[in-house]
Amino acid sequence: PGTAPTEVAPTQVCASTPMGYGSMRRKEDARFIRGQGRYLDDIALPGMLHGAILRSPFAHARIVSIDTSAAEAHPKVKAVITGETLAGLGLAWMPTLSHDVQAVLATDKVRFQGQEVAFVVAEDRYAARDALGLIEVDYEPLDAVIDARTALDEGAPVIRDDLDGRTDNHIFDWEAGDAAATDDVFARADVVAECDMLYPRVHPAPMETCGSIASMDPVTGKLVVYTTTQAPHAHRTVYALVAGLPEHKIQIIAPDIGGGFGNKVGIYPGYVCAVVGTIVTGVPVKWVEDRSENLMATSFARDYHMRGEIASTKDGKLLGVRVKVLADHGAFNGTAQPSKMPAGLFHVFSGSYDIAAAHCQVTGVYTNKAPGGVAYACSFRITEAVYLIERLVDVLARDQGWDPAELRMKNLVQPEQFPYTTALGWEYDSGDYPRTLQKALDIAGYAELRREQAEKRERGELMGIGISFFTEAVGAGPRKTMDILGLGMADGAELRVHPTGKAVLRLSCMSQGQGHSTTFAQIVAQELGISPDDIEVVQGDTDQTPFGLGTYASRSTPVSGAATVMVARKVRERAKIVAAAMLEVSPDDLEWEKGRFQVAGDPSASAAIADIAMAAHSDLELPDGVEGHLDATCVYNPPNLTYPCGAYICVVDVDAGTGQVKVRRFIAVDDCGVRINPMIVEGQVHGGLADGVGMALMQLMAFDSDGNHLGASFMDYLLPTAMECPSWELGETVTPSPHHPIGAKGVGESATVGSPPAVVNAVLDAIGVRHADMPLTPAHVWRAMRGDPIRTDLA
């Protein structure tokens, strides 16, 4: 026991570059491993100044006065900007991605600890930081709302008194599903299990923090912003709307990004301050936050208080699930998700099971905490949904004495039910759930593990086995149902094949470490027979790329990937006409065969793509109406989301004396449809599994009752390392998406979404406790074993 079975072989990396899909090494790594990455902080523009932000020490306080005179007198300080300065420019408040406003620099009140109060621009970073200490702010502290469950209490302090007529902290009520039909199945059910659970506030904590360099050219009036963004075009449109500038006067450039994980989707006050800084000083201004600023003030994740119920027959046929959610959105409603869905895609919470009725009711509230809300590989809140259903299924199994694997197997949507429409209206596109779960059980050796567990129990040793099965909805999304700030979620792609047969692909999405330079080149290679090494992928510069909404919610492969396929096929259609002219045959006589068009029945008469490219740019006579050259553009509007799935099994040992959890094994069988680069897919899964171990066992943004942030450094906000992770055991099933042009589904967040409930289920299985909230630190586990459940998020 304890050793990984040998049949799980690691993916072989191709010895030579494949002409399409396959595990080729990442093209970008040659640069990265030689220290040649170019991140925001590596960029220095001539005459550039440096900004620093003064932040609130209080979670809630009225600003009585701000005295900047001493800071302004600092010999190296060039400007001190306050909320009042911004108010004069109409920039004190900016729109959020959820139709709220957020203070760029506070004018009236501060509403969370770490909120932006003033911006100093100085000759160097050190002087800017020193000058922050010279600014005198007189605060009048107010009572803070820290526990979301008290936010709507009578007499609770009103956080957003800036909004007209506000008398409470309520943001929205939203529901999905059929309440009456759900109540009906609950009334008829033999058994009902209920559970209160908190998915605590966590943080994506990318290795690189956020930053911007803004440069306004006083002659041309063009604003260039180098910035850490996952969505360059969306950012440009927001800047255009806020500043009243046309888009062509704004260029957003995202350099290499050192991890995003959703942290780099939104626009932060520091970015806007850098823009104001360059306008005020006439030279480029750089702002880069430090680690504590990143952890305290930028997009957090989760913070969902859920009360879930699940109903079933006495022989374990699941009938219904319902949930009430209290969503803590912090001081400004800045969550990123499709506009019509204030709880994101949370309403996939019926999970992977054939459940007749489901209903959710979600209430969003303001608290005195940082804004944000959707980040950290969340798939727009599918993390919360999967955690909810996978915990409920385990709670039900425990209450009834059922085996959690059997209960799941009995209720999974069957392969012949696809396309399957859930009780909440999602149309799952494809999958073979029973086979996926069976494969995970086989790799784990489930029966043997249960025997081992029983033996260990006899000896007083605590071993746990936890299962989760997830379905994600990724690839947002169809324009008719999904938009962000009115921008439909379609993506553009442009492909140009040069005369010599090399190509450039331009995309609106933006890699933050996912390897797009490699996988998107592989898609073109597969379609056109050009080596991926000869295909340059351009991203992250709005002057160089077509419009599209960017990389988050694992939408790049489903949307930009599909756009890439379609644009490559358009080019191939043109190539066919050119080849026909070259070979003096009708296009109908041509067949496409591994990078060349050949005359049907005569393989000796053929033209390779490189020859066709040269001919397309030559004096070759083309039929009337056919343009020369070899290029195309396309905009892809997905007809549906793609629905990857996976079965995860976690095996833990818990120290009965200390509550320390050791993750001994983790089996992950993922189905993301056709895999473009299996090695990159496995890398994505490895990262997400580590995320899951981190969230389940150690990561937490906790606060004291005054709203002091208790996790503002990596001393307190714990991230998992290789030491806490086992050697992952991966498997796969492949059910292509029927509507995606190459059958690929997204995978970038699957493991982060799917793994936390497996780890939690395993720990609770080991200690024999019905429920305890994450993170299951030794202290929390130890208390849970003693029947002393606690609120993990409050000090």
List of residues contacting ligand MCN (CB under 6 A): 206, 259-262, 377, 512-516, 519, 551-557, 672-677, 680-681, 684, 687, 744-749
Q: CA 115, 116, 119: angle at the middle one, nearest 5?
A: 165
Task: Output the six-digit token pair for 463.
Answer: 């071993």
Q: How far is the CB of 741 from ligand MCN (least distance, A)?
A: 12
Q: Considering beta carbons, is residue 384 or 749 the nearer one to ligand CUN?
A: 749
Q: CA 377, 382, 383: angle at the middle one, nearest 5?
A: 60
Q: Considering beta carbons, is residue 260 or 731 the nearer one to ligand CUN?
A: 260
Cβ count within 10 A of residue 222:
15
- Give the residue among 405, 399, 377 at the shortest CA–CA distance from 667: 405
363 forms beta bridges with 173, 326
Which of ligand MCN, ligand CUN, none lies near 666, with the C-beta cut-off 5 to 8 A by kind?
A: none
Determine the Cα–Cα distance for residues 562 and 642; give it in Å rounded to an integer: 11
Which of ligand MCN, ligand CUN, none lies near 740, with the C-beta cut-off 5 to 8 A by kind?
A: none
Q: Considering beta carbons, is residue 144 or 553 the nearer one to ligand CUN?
A: 553
Determine the Cα–Cα distance for residues 375 and 361; give it in Å rounded to an integer: 21
Q: Report residue 760: phi and psi, to 5°.
A: -65, -45
Q: Considering beta carbons, is residue 177 or 372 the nearer one to ligand CUN?
A: 372
Which of ligand MCN, ligand CUN, none lies near 374, with the C-beta cut-off 5 to 8 A by kind?
A: ligand CUN
Q: Considering beta carbons, is residue 230 or 792 the nearer one to ligand CUN?
A: 230
Q: How far is the CB of 336 from ligand CUN (least distance, A)?
A: 7
Which of ligand CUN, ligand MCN, none lies near 673, with the C-beta cut-off 5 to 8 A by kind?
A: ligand MCN
Q: Considering beta carbons, is residue 423 or 553 the nearer one to ligand MCN?
A: 553
Cβ count within 10 A of residue 299:
27
Strands (E), 123-188: 136-141, 170-177
CA 394 to chain centre: 26
Task: Output the six-digit token pair for 680.
Answer: 């990159």
Element (H, E) at 731: strand 729-732
Which of ligand CUN, ligand MCN, none lies near 684, with the C-beta cut-off 5 to 8 A by kind?
A: ligand MCN
Q: Considering beta carbons, is residue 325 or 747 the nearer one to ligand MCN?
A: 747
At 281, which amino acid appears? T
Q: Considering beta carbons, is residue 580 or 690 the nearer one to ligand CUN?
A: 690
Q: Considering beta carbons, is residue 274 or 375 the nearer one to ligand CUN?
A: 375
Find all residues with CB under 8 Å of 563, minimum gap 6, and list them.
491, 492, 493, 507, 548, 634, 635, 636
- The residue sitting closest to ligand CUN, measured at its beta carbon, is 262
Q: How far is the CB of 97 from ligand CUN (least distance, A)?
A: 12
Element (H, E) at 93: strand 93-95
Determine the Cα–Cα distance for residues 108 and 695; give it in Å rounded to an integer: 36
Which of ligand CUN, ligand MCN, none lies near 312, with the C-beta cut-off 5 to 8 A by kind?
A: none
Q: Considering beta carbons, is residue 261 or 470 the nearer one to ligand MCN?
A: 261
Q: Considering beta carbons, is residue 28 or 749 the nearer one to ligand CUN?
A: 749
Q: How far is the CB of 289 from ligand MCN (least distance, A)?
A: 17
Task: Output the six-digit token pair for 204.
Answer: 């994506």
Q: How far is the CB of 659 from ligand MCN (least distance, A)?
A: 30
Q: How far is the CB of 266 from ligand CUN (least distance, A)?
A: 10
Q: Considering beta carbons, is residue 12 or 658 the nearer one to ligand MCN?
A: 12
Q: Are 305 and 183 in contact (CB under 8 A)?
A: no
123: helix, strand or coil: coil
Q: Considering beta carbons, is residue 206 or 595 the nearer one to ligand MCN?
A: 206
At 547, which amino acid appears? F
Beta-strand pair 211-216/136-141 = unpaired
Q: How far is the CB of 605 from ligand CUN (least distance, A)?
A: 49
Q: How far is the CB of 374 from ligand CUN (least distance, A)?
A: 5
Cβ count within 10 A of residue 173:
10
291: helix, strand or coil: helix
Which of ligand MCN, ligand CUN, none lies near 515, with the C-beta cut-off 5 to 8 A by kind?
A: ligand MCN
Q: How far is the CB of 470 from ligand MCN (least distance, A)?
A: 14
Q: Are 118 and 131 in contact (CB under 8 A)?
A: no
Binding site for ligand CUN (CB under 6 A): 230, 260-262, 265, 374-378, 552-553, 749
CA 357 to chain centre: 28
Determine the Cα–Cα distance for residues 491 and 504; give it in Å rounded to an integer: 17
Q: How far is the CB of 746 from ligand MCN (least distance, A)?
A: 3
Q: How far is the CB of 687 from ligand CUN (least distance, A)?
A: 12
Residue with the two structure tokens 């992770």? 725
Which of ligand MCN, ligand CUN, none lies near 676, with the C-beta cut-off 5 to 8 A by kind?
A: ligand MCN
- Give the residue among 670, 666, 672 at the shortest CA–CA distance from 694: 666
Q: How far is the CB of 515 from ligand CUN (least distance, A)?
A: 15
Q: Considering beta carbons, is residue 182 or 684 the nearer one to ligand MCN?
A: 684
Q: Are 202 and 695 in contact (CB under 8 A)?
A: yes
Which of ligand CUN, ligand MCN, none lies near 546, with the C-beta cut-off 5 to 8 A by kind?
A: none
Which of ligand CUN, ligand MCN, none lies near 745, with the C-beta cut-off 5 to 8 A by kind?
A: ligand MCN
Which of ligand CUN, ligand MCN, none lies near 259, with the C-beta cut-off 5 to 8 A by kind?
A: ligand MCN
Q: Considering beta carbons, is residue 260 or 342 the nearer one to ligand CUN?
A: 260
Which of ligand MCN, ligand CUN, none lies near 101, with the C-beta cut-off 5 to 8 A by kind?
A: none
Determine the Cα–Cα distance for residues 265 and 375; give it in Å rounded to an integer: 8
Which of ligand CUN, ligand MCN, none lies near 169, with the C-beta cut-off 5 to 8 A by kind?
A: none
Task: Output the six-digit token pair for 253.
Answer: 């450039």
Determine the Cα–Cα distance for residues 276 and 280; give it in Å rounded to an integer: 6
Q: How far is the CB of 552 from ligand MCN (least distance, A)?
A: 4
Q: Are 679 and 13 in contact (CB under 8 A)?
A: yes
Q: How far is the CB of 368 from ligand CUN (least distance, A)?
A: 23
Q: Considering beta carbons, is residue 511 or 777 the nearer one to ligand CUN?
A: 511
Determine the Cα–Cα distance for residues 502 and 669; give it in Å rounded to an integer: 37
Which of ligand MCN, ligand CUN, none lies near 265, with the C-beta cut-off 5 to 8 A by kind?
A: ligand CUN
Task: Output the six-digit token pair for 27.
Answer: 């093209």
Determine the Cα–Cα distance for residues 730 and 541; give it in Å rounded to an integer: 36
174 backbone φψ class: left, alpha, beta (φ>0; ψ -120 to 50)? beta
Q: How far is the CB of 547 from ligand MCN (least distance, A)?
A: 17
Q: Considering beta carbons, is residue 85 or 750 the nearer one to ligand CUN?
A: 750
Q: How far is the CB of 276 from ligand CUN (least distance, A)?
A: 27
Q: Are 377 and 753 in contact (CB under 8 A)?
A: yes
Q: How far is the CB of 287 from ligand CUN (least distance, A)?
A: 22
Which of ligand MCN, ligand CUN, none lies near 709, with the C-beta cut-off 5 to 8 A by kind?
A: none
Radius of gyration of the chain (CA): 27
Cβ count within 10 A of residue 25:
15
Find all residues with CB under 8 Å of 707, minimum gap 6, and list them.
58, 59, 60, 112, 113, 144, 146, 368, 369
Q: Are 771 and 197 in contact (CB under 8 A)?
A: yes
